[in-house]
Amino acid sequence: MKKSNPPHPPVPVWDAAVRLLHWSLVASVAAAWITRYRLGPLHENLGYAALAIACARVAWGFAGRHHARFAQFVRGPAATWAYARAVGAGRAPRHLGHNPLGGWMVVALLGCIGLLGFTGWLYTTDLFWGYGWLANLHEGLGWALLGLVALHVGGVLFTGYKHRENLLRAMVTGRKAPPTGDDVP
């Protein structure tokens, strides 16, 4: 028997730019990471691609609309702490956009990629070429990014499990179930 349509069809949350930038950021960061031992243009250009995509996402955070905007999802310390406590107590409300912890994770991921691009570029300049501390800093930032990505994916899976929704699919289709009850729209 054919299933009837659900009473509340999914609503658009992530616009096309957010989704395209997300998955191209994932691809370029992964490629830069894989080529990290290859000195030369391949690793550098993949790193610059990641940097350019991160910059485009930052611009979209000001120029885009609603759930794409930093002003919508970057919350102050009090709201973020309250949300973290609610997560600990197992009663965190569902957010249609990024939740406050996820919002700070977006800032941390983009910031780390920005610092990686900057330190990587600096190392290729005549002035800073060959400085061991700079190479170590760049490498350390690479490992920090790996740790952040692990936390990010863990957070996505945990939140999706708690609210019984497939957040990964939402980052592909852009759509999520509409807010109900205590959900934050």
Tell me which residues touch ligand HEM (CB under 6 A).
Answer: 18, 21-22, 25-26, 29-30, 32-33, 36-37, 39, 43-44, 47-48, 50-51, 57, 98, 102, 106, 109-110, 113, 116-117, 120-121, 123-124, 135, 138-139, 142, 145, 149, 152-153, 156, 167-168, 171
Shortest distance (Å) from residue 141 CB to ligand HEM: 7
The residue among 3 and 180 lying less far from ligand HEM, judged by its C-beta, is 180
Measured between alpha carbons, how far is 87 from 104 in angstroms, rounded to an integer?
15
Shortest distance (Å) from residue 137 CB to ligand HEM: 10
CA nearest 36: which of 151, 150, 135? 135
Q: Could you tell me what percentage of the chain is helix, strand and coil, using 3-state DSSP and rounding each to the nearest 5?
A: 65, 5, 30
Shortest distance (Å) from residue 88 CB to ligand HEM: 19
Instruction: Give φ, ψ of 106 to 5 degrees.
Output: -60, -45
Q: How many CB atoms lie within 10 A of CB 141?
A: 19
Shortest distance (Å) from residue 28 CB to ligand HEM: 7
The residue among 85 and 140 lying less far from ligand HEM, judged by its C-beta, is 140
- Judge whether 75 and 102 are in contact, CB under 8 Å: no
Shortest distance (Å) from residue 91 CB to ligand HEM: 18
Q: What angle do CA 129, 133, 137 make, to 5 degrees?
A: 100
The residue among 104 and 123 lying less far from ligand HEM, judged by its C-beta, is 123
Scan for tokens 């179930």, then name that residue.
Answer: 177
The residue among 21 and 177 lying less far from ligand HEM, judged by its C-beta, is 21
Shortest distance (Å) from residue 8 CB to ligand HEM: 19
The residue among 8 and 153 lying less far from ligand HEM, judged by its C-beta, is 153
CA nearest 53: which of 70, 45, 95, 175? 45
The residue among 4 and 163 lying less far from ligand HEM, judged by its C-beta, is 163
Measured between alpha carbons, how far is 114 from 112 in angstroms, rounded to an integer?
5
